[in-house]
Chain A
Amino acid sequence: MAVKYDPAGYAYLPVSLISLFMAKFNSIFRFTGSLGNVIAYRRGGKTCLRTRPETVRQTENTRRSAQWFGAASRKGAFVRNTFADELDIPHYGAHINQLTRTIVNAGRNNHAGLKGFRFNPHTRTTDLIHHTDLSGDGKLRIPAQVIEAYGGAEMIEIKLIAKHIDFTTRQVTGTDVAVLLIGKDYLRKSNEPSPRLQFGERSLP
Protein backbone atom coordinates (compact mmCIF):
# COMPACT_ATOMS: atom_id res chain seq x y z
CA MET A 1 0.00 0.00 0.00
CA ALA A 2 1.39 3.35 -1.02
CA VAL A 3 1.16 5.03 2.37
CA LYS A 4 2.93 8.37 2.47
CA TYR A 5 3.90 10.53 5.40
CA ASP A 6 3.58 14.28 5.56
CA PRO A 7 6.28 16.45 7.18
CA ALA A 8 4.43 16.35 10.51
CA GLY A 9 4.62 12.57 10.51
CA TYR A 10 0.93 11.81 9.75
CA ALA A 11 0.25 9.00 7.31
CA TYR A 12 -1.99 9.65 4.35
CA LEU A 13 -3.09 7.89 1.20
CA PRO A 14 -2.84 9.46 -2.25
CA VAL A 15 -6.20 10.74 -3.48
CA SER A 16 -6.22 8.20 -6.31
CA LEU A 17 -6.15 5.34 -3.77
CA ILE A 18 -8.79 6.85 -1.46
CA SER A 19 -11.21 7.08 -4.34
CA LEU A 20 -11.10 3.29 -4.70
CA PHE A 21 -12.84 2.87 -1.35
CA MET A 22 -15.73 4.54 0.39
CA ALA A 23 -14.03 7.69 1.54
CA LYS A 24 -13.27 7.72 5.25
CA PHE A 25 -12.37 10.88 7.04
CA ASN A 26 -9.32 10.22 9.20
CA SER A 27 -8.13 13.76 9.67
CA ILE A 28 -7.70 15.18 13.17
CA PHE A 29 -10.01 18.05 12.27
CA ARG A 30 -13.29 16.37 11.48
CA PHE A 31 -16.71 17.73 10.81
CA THR A 32 -20.15 16.36 10.06
CA GLY A 33 -22.63 18.05 7.80
CA SER A 34 -22.16 19.64 4.41
CA LEU A 35 -19.29 21.80 3.22
CA GLY A 36 -19.99 22.95 -0.31
CA ASN A 37 -20.57 19.82 -2.36
CA VAL A 38 -19.00 17.49 0.22
CA ILE A 39 -21.10 15.89 2.95
CA ALA A 40 -19.49 14.26 6.00
CA TYR A 41 -21.52 11.88 8.14
CA ARG A 42 -20.97 9.36 10.92
CA ARG A 43 -21.52 5.72 10.09
CA GLY A 44 -20.63 2.89 12.48
CA GLY A 45 -18.33 5.14 14.52
CA LYS A 46 -16.41 6.37 11.47
CA THR A 47 -16.71 9.64 9.65
CA CYS A 48 -17.40 9.14 5.95
CA LEU A 49 -17.47 11.53 3.04
CA ARG A 50 -19.71 11.68 0.02
CA THR A 51 -20.56 14.26 -2.56
CA ARG A 52 -23.92 15.85 -3.05
CA PRO A 53 -25.82 14.19 -5.95
CA GLU A 54 -25.80 16.32 -9.09
CA THR A 55 -29.37 15.56 -10.05
CA VAL A 56 -32.25 14.06 -8.10
CA ARG A 57 -35.08 12.44 -10.03
CA GLN A 58 -38.26 12.61 -8.03
CA THR A 59 -41.87 12.16 -8.94
CA GLU A 60 -44.61 13.92 -7.03
CA ASN A 61 -45.24 10.72 -5.04
CA THR A 62 -41.61 10.10 -4.07
CA ARG A 63 -41.30 13.76 -3.09
CA ARG A 64 -44.40 13.50 -0.89
CA SER A 65 -43.15 10.24 0.60
CA ALA A 66 -39.73 11.74 1.36
CA GLN A 67 -41.34 14.76 3.01
CA TRP A 68 -43.54 12.52 5.14
CA PHE A 69 -40.54 10.44 6.13
CA GLY A 70 -38.67 13.60 7.11
CA ALA A 71 -41.61 14.80 9.20
CA ALA A 72 -41.86 11.39 10.90
CA SER A 73 -38.13 11.39 11.57
CA ARG A 74 -38.32 14.82 13.21
CA LYS A 75 -41.32 13.76 15.27
CA GLY A 76 -39.51 10.58 16.36
CA ALA A 77 -36.48 12.62 17.40
CA PHE A 78 -38.76 14.94 19.35
CA VAL A 79 -40.42 12.04 21.20
CA ARG A 80 -37.04 10.44 21.97
CA ASN A 81 -35.55 13.70 23.24
CA THR A 82 -38.68 14.39 25.27
CA PHE A 83 -38.28 11.18 27.25
CA ALA A 84 -34.46 11.13 27.27
CA ASP A 85 -34.16 12.95 30.61
CA GLU A 86 -36.43 10.55 32.48
CA LEU A 87 -35.46 7.30 30.78
CA ASP A 88 -32.52 5.58 32.48
CA ILE A 89 -32.08 2.56 30.25
CA PRO A 90 -29.01 2.52 27.98
CA HIS A 91 -29.44 3.51 24.35
CA TYR A 92 -29.54 0.40 22.24
CA GLY A 93 -29.31 2.31 18.98
CA ALA A 94 -31.87 0.51 16.86
CA HIS A 95 -34.84 2.28 18.43
CA ILE A 96 -34.14 5.43 16.38
CA ASN A 97 -35.12 3.81 13.10
CA GLN A 98 -37.88 1.81 14.72
CA LEU A 99 -39.61 4.84 16.20
CA THR A 100 -39.58 6.58 12.81
CA ARG A 101 -40.99 3.44 11.20
CA THR A 102 -43.72 3.22 13.84
CA ILE A 103 -44.74 6.83 13.16
CA VAL A 104 -44.66 6.35 9.38
CA ASN A 105 -46.83 3.24 9.62
CA ALA A 106 -49.26 4.85 12.06
CA GLY A 107 -50.04 7.72 9.71
CA ARG A 108 -50.30 11.45 10.15
CA ASN A 109 -51.55 12.68 13.54
CA ASN A 110 -52.25 9.13 14.65
CA HIS A 111 -50.30 9.23 17.89
CA ALA A 112 -52.23 6.25 19.22
CA GLY A 113 -50.03 4.17 16.90
CA LEU A 114 -47.12 4.83 19.27
CA LYS A 115 -48.71 2.61 21.90
CA GLY A 116 -46.66 -0.52 22.40
CA PHE A 117 -43.43 1.04 21.11
CA ARG A 118 -40.34 -0.39 22.86
CA PHE A 119 -37.39 1.89 23.59
CA ASN A 120 -35.41 -1.33 24.05
CA PRO A 121 -36.45 -3.54 21.13
CA HIS A 122 -34.95 -6.64 22.75
CA THR A 123 -37.03 -6.77 25.94
CA ARG A 124 -40.64 -5.95 26.76
CA THR A 125 -41.73 -4.67 30.15
CA THR A 126 -44.01 -7.71 30.35
CA ASP A 127 -40.92 -9.94 30.13
CA LEU A 128 -39.79 -8.58 33.51
CA ILE A 129 -43.13 -7.87 35.25
CA HIS A 130 -45.73 -10.12 33.68
CA HIS A 131 -48.91 -8.34 34.75
CA THR A 132 -49.52 -4.61 34.87
CA ASP A 133 -52.69 -2.68 34.28
CA LEU A 134 -53.05 1.05 33.67
CA SER A 135 -56.50 1.95 34.96
CA GLY A 136 -58.70 4.78 33.74
CA ASP A 137 -57.87 6.96 36.76
CA GLY A 138 -54.22 7.03 35.69
CA LYS A 139 -52.90 4.55 38.23
CA LEU A 140 -50.65 1.67 37.28
CA ARG A 141 -51.95 -1.40 39.11
CA ILE A 142 -49.45 -4.18 39.64
CA PRO A 143 -51.46 -7.23 40.76
CA ALA A 144 -50.13 -9.74 43.27
CA GLN A 145 -47.80 -12.06 41.36
CA VAL A 146 -44.52 -13.92 41.53
CA ILE A 147 -41.68 -11.70 40.32
CA GLU A 148 -38.49 -13.45 39.28
CA ALA A 149 -35.07 -12.39 40.56
CA TYR A 150 -33.43 -12.64 37.15
CA GLY A 151 -29.80 -13.67 37.53
CA GLY A 152 -29.76 -13.00 41.29
CA ALA A 153 -31.25 -9.52 41.14
CA GLU A 154 -31.17 -7.37 44.26
CA MET A 155 -34.01 -5.07 43.32
CA ILE A 156 -36.43 -4.23 40.52
CA GLU A 157 -37.17 -0.60 39.77
CA ILE A 158 -40.47 0.34 38.16
CA LYS A 159 -40.77 3.87 36.84
CA LEU A 160 -43.87 5.42 35.33
CA ILE A 161 -43.41 8.53 33.19
CA ALA A 162 -46.38 10.50 31.91
CA LYS A 163 -46.07 13.52 29.66
CA HIS A 164 -48.47 15.86 27.95
CA ILE A 165 -47.00 16.70 24.57
CA ASP A 166 -48.38 19.38 22.30
CA PHE A 167 -47.26 18.18 18.87
CA THR A 168 -48.47 21.33 17.09
CA THR A 169 -46.19 23.63 19.08
CA ARG A 170 -43.66 20.86 19.84
CA GLN A 171 -43.73 21.54 23.56
CA VAL A 172 -44.04 19.41 26.66
CA THR A 173 -46.84 20.95 28.71
CA GLY A 174 -46.73 18.61 31.72
CA THR A 175 -44.69 15.79 33.23
CA ASP A 176 -45.20 13.39 36.13
CA VAL A 177 -42.89 10.62 37.26
CA ALA A 178 -43.44 7.90 39.87
CA VAL A 179 -41.02 5.19 40.98
CA LEU A 180 -41.61 1.92 42.84
CA LEU A 181 -38.78 -0.27 44.11
CA ILE A 182 -39.30 -3.97 44.77
CA GLY A 183 -36.73 -5.40 47.18
CA LYS A 184 -35.04 -8.77 46.83
CA ASP A 185 -37.19 -10.37 49.55
CA TYR A 186 -40.14 -10.13 47.16
CA LEU A 187 -38.23 -11.68 44.25
CA ARG A 188 -38.20 -15.41 43.61
CA LYS A 189 -34.71 -16.77 43.13
CA SER A 190 -34.23 -19.55 40.60
CA ASN A 191 -33.25 -22.12 43.27
CA GLU A 192 -36.18 -21.34 45.56
CA PRO A 193 -39.82 -22.41 45.11
CA SER A 194 -41.19 -19.05 46.26
CA PRO A 195 -39.93 -15.65 47.45
CA ARG A 196 -39.39 -14.91 51.14
CA LEU A 197 -42.21 -12.34 51.14
CA GLN A 198 -45.26 -12.44 48.94
CA PHE A 199 -45.69 -9.48 46.60
CA GLY A 200 -49.11 -7.98 47.16
CA GLU A 201 -50.97 -5.66 44.84
CA ARG A 202 -49.39 -2.22 44.49
CA SER A 203 -50.37 0.89 42.63
CA LEU A 204 -48.32 3.64 41.04
CA PRO A 205 -48.32 6.47 42.03
Chain B
Amino acid sequence: MNVPGKGTLIVVLQIRVHFSGGASANRKFNAADIIAVQEPRTLDTPRVKASTYKTKHHQQTDFTGITVPTVGEVVPIKRE
Protein backbone atom coordinates (compact mmCIF):
# COMPACT_ATOMS: atom_id res chain seq x y z
CA MET B 1 0.00 0.00 0.00
CA ASN B 2 1.21 3.44 -0.84
CA VAL B 3 -0.66 5.98 1.25
CA PRO B 4 0.53 9.55 1.14
CA GLY B 5 -0.37 11.85 3.98
CA LYS B 6 0.49 12.55 7.58
CA GLY B 7 -0.82 11.18 10.81
CA THR B 8 -1.43 7.66 12.07
CA LEU B 9 -1.56 4.91 9.44
CA ILE B 10 -4.32 2.39 10.11
CA VAL B 11 -4.64 -0.72 7.94
CA VAL B 12 -7.88 -2.73 7.89
CA LEU B 13 -8.25 -6.16 6.32
CA GLN B 14 -11.75 -7.12 5.25
CA ILE B 15 -12.73 -10.61 4.06
CA ARG B 16 -16.15 -11.45 2.66
CA VAL B 17 -17.45 -14.78 1.41
CA HIS B 18 -19.60 -14.63 -1.71
CA PHE B 19 -22.22 -17.24 -2.55
CA SER B 20 -24.21 -17.69 -5.74
CA GLY B 21 -26.58 -14.92 -4.67
CA GLY B 22 -23.81 -12.45 -3.86
CA ALA B 23 -21.98 -11.48 -0.68
CA SER B 24 -23.23 -13.21 2.43
CA ALA B 25 -24.84 -11.19 5.22
CA ASN B 26 -24.16 -13.98 7.71
CA ARG B 27 -21.83 -12.75 10.43
CA LYS B 28 -19.80 -15.98 10.17
CA PHE B 29 -18.74 -15.09 6.63
CA ASN B 30 -17.75 -11.46 7.11
CA ALA B 31 -14.73 -10.19 8.96
CA ALA B 32 -12.84 -6.92 9.17
CA ASP B 33 -9.92 -6.39 11.52
CA ILE B 34 -7.44 -3.59 12.12
CA ILE B 35 -4.22 -5.45 11.33
CA ALA B 36 -1.67 -2.65 11.63
CA VAL B 37 -1.30 0.76 13.24
CA GLN B 38 1.74 2.89 12.58
CA GLU B 39 2.21 6.03 14.62
CA PRO B 40 3.78 9.12 13.02
CA ARG B 41 7.36 9.91 13.98
CA THR B 42 6.38 13.07 15.81
CA LEU B 43 5.31 13.99 19.32
CA ASP B 44 2.10 11.97 19.04
CA THR B 45 3.67 8.99 20.79
CA PRO B 46 1.91 7.93 24.02
CA ARG B 47 3.12 9.54 27.16
CA VAL B 48 4.16 6.89 29.64
CA LYS B 49 4.67 8.04 33.19
CA ALA B 50 8.06 6.95 34.34
CA SER B 51 7.87 4.86 37.50
CA THR B 52 9.94 6.17 40.35
CA TYR B 53 9.35 3.06 42.47
CA LYS B 54 12.48 1.22 41.38
CA THR B 55 14.77 4.14 41.90
CA LYS B 56 13.37 4.71 45.40
CA HIS B 57 13.13 1.14 46.67
CA HIS B 58 15.44 -0.99 44.57
CA GLN B 59 18.67 0.91 44.92
CA GLN B 60 21.62 -1.25 45.81
CA THR B 61 22.66 -0.26 49.28
CA ASP B 62 26.22 -0.50 50.44
CA PHE B 63 25.98 -2.48 53.70
CA THR B 64 29.68 -2.58 54.38
CA GLY B 65 29.49 0.46 56.61
CA ILE B 66 26.50 -0.87 58.59
CA THR B 67 27.32 -4.51 59.39
CA VAL B 68 30.25 -5.77 61.35
CA PRO B 69 31.87 -9.11 60.39
CA THR B 70 31.52 -11.68 63.21
CA VAL B 71 33.03 -15.11 63.89
CA GLY B 72 30.71 -17.19 66.13
CA GLU B 73 28.97 -14.02 67.35
CA VAL B 74 32.33 -12.70 68.48
CA VAL B 75 33.62 -9.62 66.76
CA PRO B 76 37.17 -10.39 65.65
CA ILE B 77 39.80 -7.98 66.79
CA LYS B 78 41.45 -6.23 63.96
CA ARG B 79 45.13 -6.79 63.61
CA GLU B 80 47.27 -3.72 63.92
Contacts and interface: CB of A to CB of B under 8 A. Distances in A.
A122 interface: yes
Contacts of A83: 12
A196 interface: no
Given A159-B14, A166-B7, A139 B31 contact: no
Contact of B31 (A111, A125, A167, A178): A125
B46 A109 contact: yes
Contacts of A116: 33-35
Contacts, number: 178
B15 A176 contact: no
B18 to A, nearest CB: 4
Interface stretch (A26-34, A51-59, A63-71, A149-157): A149-157
A132 interface: yes
B45 interface: yes
A174 B4 contact: yes
A128 B2 CA distance: 26
B8 A165 contact: yes
A154 B27 contact: no
A174 B39 contact: no
B28 A114 contact: no
Interface string A70-97: 0000000001000100111110100000
Contacts of A140: 1, 13
B30 A134 contact: no
A164 B37 CA distance: 10
B31 A118 contact: yes
Contact of B15 (A79, A108, A125, A168): A125
A66 B40 CA distance: 28
B62 interface: no
A125 B13 contact: yes
Interface of A: 79, 83, 86-90, 92, 107-112, 114-120, 122-125, 127-129, 132, 134, 138-140, 150-168, 171-176, 178, 205
Given A87-B32, A119-B12, A160-B1, 7 more contacts: A90-B27, A108-B46, A115-B36, A118-B31, A120-B27, A129-B15, A163-B12
25 contacts: A79-B10, A88-B23, A90-B30, A107-B46, A109-B44, A110-B46, A112-B39, A115-B36, A116-B35, A117-B34, A119-B33, A120-B32, A125-B15, A125-B33, A125-B35, A128-B15, A134-B35, A134-B36, A155-B17, A160-B13, A162-B9, A162-B12, A163-B9, A163-B10, A167-B7
